[in-house]
Structure 1
Amino acid sequence: MLFTPAIIALFAGSLITSGLLVGAALAGVPIILYWNLRDGSELQLKLERRTYLISTCVAYAFAFELISMFLFIYTADSIHSFFVGAMCAAGSLNANQWGYPTLIFRIVNFLLAGLWLIVNYTDNKGYDYPLIKMKYVLLLIIAPLILAETVIQAQYFFGLNPEVITSCCGALFSATTSSVAADIIAFPQRPMALVFGANMLLLPVLGIFSYRTGKGGYLFAVTALLAFLISSAAFISFISTYFYELPTHHCPFCVLQWEYRGIGYPLFLALLGGAQAGMGVGILTPYRDTGSLKGTLPAIQKKLIFISLISFASFAAISIYQIIFSNLKM
């Protein structure tokens, strides 16, 4: 295991977060089963006091989960110099079999943590806490995933061996390898660019429609998730090559380095934030007719639509600017 301040912070923070969330999920089970605001019993009063504490603790835990996602990526990039063959985070994550599974869990949990925070914020806007059972059911789903992330991340960090010779990003993100990334790279760039462009045009159309009418929340959420997946694939397929000005370099991690002004961080934040906000619109849609939320939920959904559109527009704008002004012409 490599002992660096960032690794120790991630390990300790994940351990605390997963323990806190598992405990909160178990403490939330009685709330799911017995919560009833019309009941003035002693049990209900205990549940009301308990939920304030649990919600606050979980909110801080998920805030750490969001921040630590980027700390993990930064750490993976910063330790690449310890491994022969690694040039960026791609090689560090490939140093053992747990690196990329950890990254996948972190991406999934980043999105789910954001959704829980959206639900919790909306629930607190209703005088009768109409989403309280739903948010604790969601917590029961997320907590085991956070725990699994912590275990897999520990396996990754404890299994790091500086004597291991790993692969560079040029070998990992190549059409000649057998992987999902290779399939994306091998896919013709022109059709991929058309799909990317069509999705980026469709998303604002659906967003404006939903913003004005309050309808189509589910469709916008699905399209936002597709925009995240398609944009990620498009970045690996062809957008990244314009940043590196090299048609054979498809690595999604080298853009995190200061050689490229760390432009990868705002790009990935835009993608994750756009998907998170867009999915938030969909998860709140079933509660638009809830009495205590009628005055606030539409406004919350409008803000989420705006954040999602601005996020994806930022990603598209940076990408298009680089494509136009790059020295690489294809």
Structure 2
Amino acid sequence: MIFHPLILALIVASGLTSFLVLYASVFGAQILGRWDLRSGSEAQLGLERKTYLISTLLAFVFTFELLSLFLFIFTADRLHTFFVGAMCAAGTLHVNAFGYPALLLKAINFVLAGTWLILNAADIRGYDYPLTKKKYAYLLALAPLILAETALQTAFFLKMKPDITTSCCGSLFGASGGSVAADLASLPVAPMKAVFGLSLLLTLASGFYFLLKGRGGSLFAALSGVNLIVSLLAILSFISIYFYELPSHHCPFCILQKEYGFLGYPIYLAVLGGGICGLGVGVLNPFRKVTSLAAVMPSLQRKLALAAVISLLVFAALVIHRLAVSNLNLP
């Protein structure tokens, strides 16, 4: 199965990503130790020329990192037909011990890579690149996670055997699943609806307040982070069952399939995109008073807040529409 085109694409791209991140990390260590804009030395000028090239390269690398999460899930869904018992990506990811850890780490890196891109976007807007050391320190912290993701993903695909019998999503996310995912899927519907609605409303309200007043960025970022987690739990707990119209079917992957109009992709994109943009407002908040960024930071934060609010409104519209048209009636 290793020669499946999608698997090969993911393995090669992931390996290349790890190599480039590792190379950039070595350069980042030099930046942390030797970067000094007050110096006109030849070494400093060399670092300045090189950092522009590497930052541009990393922007492409981390953009692919964002896309690779959805490609990974799409690949897992496409491969489910090779395994007895699998009905969607849930079964494919369960064929060995590396599938779900790889997915979890890819999701974490999705958020971290997104916030790095935001930090980099702010840095290149300053004439003196004021966040250079900070973004490379962030890169050094992120690099081990990228390498671990590559290792887990590669192990997942290499250990994949087509003669394996796996579990279906009904048993993995059902009440008797006996796993953390099953326990989360079993969260009571009515309280989860209330928590989800409150979280979404508070996040949107804080986002609109920031857009209007230019204040409360840290609060909006904190609420965006909480809402990201709550929204994912809500998809697992009750949103998914309104798609399937089965109160016992909590699979977060089947909504990605053709039978449900591939609506899972815009839903997850809106949730994750809104979360990253909202968190990005908070990431940039401490640097509002940096001299070279003072003129551009408010505009950049407002754009992020607007993108976050629009993403959450799209997510809310998709969820409300599904709840309204579904034949499933729950309190």
Q: Output aligned runs, 1:1-330, within 5 Å.
A: 1-330=1-330
Cα shift readout 1:27-55 (whole Å, capped 9, x = no counterpart): 11111122111210111111111101111
Deviation of residue 68 (structure 1)?
1.3
In structure 1, how many angstroms separate the alpha carbons of the residues matched to 2:296 and 2:25? Answer: 27
Deviation of residue 250 (structure 1)?
0.6
In structure 1, how many angstroms separate the alpha carbons of the residues matched to 2:177 and 2:259? Answer: 26
CA contact (8 A) 1:274 1:312 kept: yes
SS at match of 2:164: coil
SS at match of 1:79: helix
Gaps of 5+ in 2: none
Cα shift readout 1:200-246 (whole Å, capped 9, x = no counterpart): 11011111222233322222111111111101111111111111111
Deviation of residue 180 (structure 1)?
2.0
Aligned amino acid, residue 117 of structure 2: L
In structure 2, how many angstroms separate the alpha carbons of the residues matched to 1:111 and 1:216? Answer: 21
Following TM superposition, the consecutive aligned residue runs of length 4 or more in structure 1 with deviations greater than 6 angstroms are none
Aligned amino acid, residue 90 of structure 2: A
In structure 2, how many angstroms separate the alpha carbons of the residues matched to 1:201 and 1:216? Answer: 15
CA contact (8 A) 1:22 1:143 kept: yes
Cα shift readout 1:9-31 (whole Å, capped 9, x = no counterpart): 00000000101101101111111
- Report the aligned-residue RMSD: 1.0
Q: What TM-score do you get using the length of structure 1 for normalisation?
A: 0.98
Cα shift readout 1:289-316 (whole Å, capped 9, x = no counterpart): 1111111101110011111111111111
Cα shift readout 1:138-180 (whole Å, capped 9, x = no counterpart): 1101111111000000110000011111000000011112222
Cα shift readout 1:76-104 (whole Å, capped 9, x = no counterpart): 00000000000000000001010000001
In structure 2, how many angstroms separate the alpha carbons of the residues matched to 1:233 and 1:250? Answer: 11
In structure 2, how many angstroms separate the alpha carbons of the residues matched to 1:15 and 1:277? Answer: 27
Q: What TM-score do you get using the length of structure 2 for normalisation?
A: 0.98
CA contact (8 A) 2:204 2:312 kept: no
In structure 2, how many angstroms separate the alpha carbons of the residues matched to 1:227 and 1:254? Answer: 22
CA contact (8 A) 1:2 1:161 kept: no
Gaps of 5+ in 1: none
Deviation of residue 7 (structure 1)?
0.3
User: What fraction of aligned residue pairs are identical, expressed as a percent?
Assistant: 52
In structure 2, how many angstroms separate the alpha carbons of the residues matched to 1:9 and 1:185? Answer: 32
In structure 2, how many angstroms separate the alpha carbons of the residues matched to 1:185 and 1:8? Answer: 33
SS at match of 2:298: helix
In structure 1, how many angstroms separate the alpha carbons of the residues matched to 2:214 and 2:144? Answer: 34
SS at match of 1:315: helix
Q: How many equivalent residue pairs? A: 330
Most deviating of 173-182 and 270-279: 173-182
